[in-house]
Amino acid sequence: MKCYIGIDLGSTTTKAVLMDDKADILGRGITNSRSNYETAAAVAKQEARLGARLTLFRRGLTELTELEGIDVLMADLERSIRCEQFTEQLQDLHDTCASHISDGADDIKEALDEVFVLLAEESPALFTREAKRKSDFFRDIAGSRVMKLGEQVAKKRGVSFDTLLNLYDKSIIDVENRPPEGGLSEKFRAGLHRLLEGSPEFEIDEELAQIALSKALDVELEETYVVGTGYGRVTLPFPKEHIRSEILCHGLGAHLMYPHTRTVLDIGGQDTKAIQVDAEGIVENFQMNDRCAAGCGRYLGYIADEMNMGLHELGPMAMKSTKNVRINSTCTVFAGAELRDRLALGEKREDILAGLHRAIILRAMSIISRSGGISEGEFTFTGGVANNGAAVKELKKLVNENYGEVTINIDPTSIYTGALGAAEFARRAVIH
Partner 1 sequence: MSPADINEDVIKESSMLKQKEMISANYEKLTSAPETGQKVASTYVPGNLNELIMCFDMLNNLPEINAIQNGMRKQSGAMIQDAEKMGHSEDVCTYVKADIGNMAKGAIAPNGKPMPVPDLLMLSYTGCFTFLKWFELLRDQYGCRTAMLHVPYEGDGVITANMRDYVVKQLKEEVIPTFEEVSGVKFDIDRLRENLKNSAKAEEDFVWVLESAKNKPSPIDAYFGGVYYVGPIFTAFRGTTDAIDYYKILRGEIEQRIASGQGPITPEGEMKEEKYRLVVEGPPNWTSFREFWKMFYDEGAVVVSSTYTKVGGVYDYDGFRHDPDNPLESLADYCLGCYTNRNLPMRVDMIEKAMEEYQADGFLINSIKSCNSFSAGQLMMMREVENRTGKPAAFIETDLVDPRYFSPANVKNRLESYFQMIDQKRAGGSPSRAA
Smallest gap from Cβ 245 to partner 1, in A, equals: 4
Neighbour-count burial of 240, counting CB atoms closer than 10 A to its CB (0-12 exposed, 13-18 middle, 19+ buried): exposed
Task: Select from 37, 202, 258, 425 the one that contacts partner 1 (CB under 8 A).
Answer: 425
Q: How far apart are CA 325 and CA 339, in angstroms?
A: 10
Residue 376 sits in the site that holds partner 1 (CB under 8 A): no
Smallest gap from Cβ 420 to partner 1, in A, equals: 14
Residue 278 sits in the site that holds partner 1 (CB under 8 A): yes
| Closest to partner 1 by CB, 248 or 410 | 248
Q: How far apart are CA 56 and CA 185, in angstroms?
A: 13
Task: Select from 91, 185, 210, 285 the one that contacts partner 1 (CB under 8 A).
Answer: 285
Residues 183-212, interacting with partner 1 (CB under 8 A): none
Residue 262 sits in the site that holds partner 1 (CB under 8 A): no
Residues 288-347, interacting with partner 1 (CB under 8 A): 288, 290-291
Task: Select from 57, 168, 188, 231 the one that contacts partner 1 (CB under 8 A).
Answer: 231
Task: Select from 12, 65, 177, 245 the one that contacts partner 1 (CB under 8 A).
Answer: 245
Structural element, H or E, at residue 140: helix 138-157
- Return the axis-axis angle of helices 70-99 and 161-176, rounded to nearest 10°: 120
Binding-residue total with partner 1 (CB under 8 A) = 27
Q: How far apart are CA 299 and CA 241, in angstroms?
A: 33
Strands 25-32 and 272-277: unpaired
| Closest to partner 1 by CB, 143 or 230 | 230
Q: How far apart are CA 312 and CA 379, in angstroms?
A: 24
Q: What is the DSSP letter of 102?
A: P
> Cα dist. 307→249, 296, 313, 390 in Å?
34, 17, 11, 17
Smallest gap from Cβ 276 to partner 1, in A, equals: 10
**Residue 1 three-state SS:** coil
The residue ranges that bind partner 1 (CB under 8 A) are 231, 244-248, 252, 278, 280-288, 290-291, 370, 372, 424-425, 428-429, 431-432
